[in-house]
């Protein structure tokens, strides 16, 4: 399906009319994804690129560079495990 927006830019579409155009390119955001979905990835990749450039140049990234680490992922998984344990025990508080 090809749709021309009010600005005249062609935008890819999907059946059922479930589409959200992002910027002039008309990039489709998958149905059910919130506004800012693509920007979140752009920010993440930018921060990681800054850290990679610093490491490549033999330095450390600026303290302002932030992105999730493996340790952050582990904390997230521990939270999910605790939520599942709580559910199995009848929705009671469990220790993290």
Q: What is the pLDDT along the chain (96 residues), one digit of tens a residue?
A: 555 566 666 655 544 444 444 454 566 677 777 778 888 888 999 999 999 999 999 999 888 888 888 999 999 999 999 999 999 999 999 998
Cα(54)–Cα(59) distance, rounded to whole angstroms?
A: 5
DSSP H/E element including 39 = helix 37-56
pTM above 0.75, yes or no: no
């Amino acid at each position: 399906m090809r749709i021309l927006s009010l600005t005249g830019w062609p935008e890819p579409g999907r059946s059922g009319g479930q589409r959200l155009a992002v910027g002039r390119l008309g990039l489709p955001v998958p149905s059910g994804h919130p506004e800012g979905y693509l920007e979140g990835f752009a920010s993440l990749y930018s921060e990681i690129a800054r850290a990679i450039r610093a490491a490549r140049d033999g330095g450390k990234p600026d303290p302002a560079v932030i992105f999730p680490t493996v340790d952050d992922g582990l904390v997230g998984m521990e939270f999910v495990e605790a939520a599942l344990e709580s559910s199995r025990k009848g929705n009671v508080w469990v220790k993290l």
